Amino acid sequence: MLQSALISGTYRISYKRSQGGNPHLEAETGEVLTGKDVMVLFMDERSLNDGHGHLLYKTIGEGSGKAFLDGKAYDIKWVRKSVNDRTQFYLLEKGAKKGSEKILELNRGQIWIEILPTGSALTIN
């Protein structure tokens, strides 16, 4: 869900978070959680087989995703070389040669990172 506010002649967009179809509320204030950027990353998933339904995701390597910034959606690639490295996000531009991707510049502020199993469908409302 998009929320926008006019600040100094420019629009600032934030995304309201929901969970299970309901607004995801901050425990102390009761306000809906918002983020300026939302990253949806597709990662390989497997069961931990612990009897509790816990899942493990392959966070080392690279994969595809979608970034939502300033009211626009972008195709991205994520890369994380080792457990000690930060995840980098690259903008996938049509017609760009492999390896020439630009680093995606994120907005300052709250960033939500959501993980979906590789091959999952992503519905954008």
- Rounded Cα gap, residues 66 and 25, in angstroms: 24
DSSP code of residue 104: P
HEC states along 20-49?
Answer: CCEECECCCCCCECEECEEEEEEECEEECC
pLDDT score, position 109: 82
Domain map of the chain by residue range? 37-117
pLDDT score, position 67: 95
pLDDT score, position 13: 72
> Between these two residues, 98 and 14, which has the higher pLDDT value?
14
- The pLDDT confidence band at residue 62, using thresholds 50, 70 and 90, is very high
Instruction: Count the neighbouring beta carbons within 10 Å of the beta carbon of residue 16.
Output: 14
- Rounded Cα gap, residues 55 and 116, in angstroms: 11
**How much is the pTM?**
0.78
Res. 66: pLDDT tops 60: yes
| Tokens, residue 103 | 């680093």
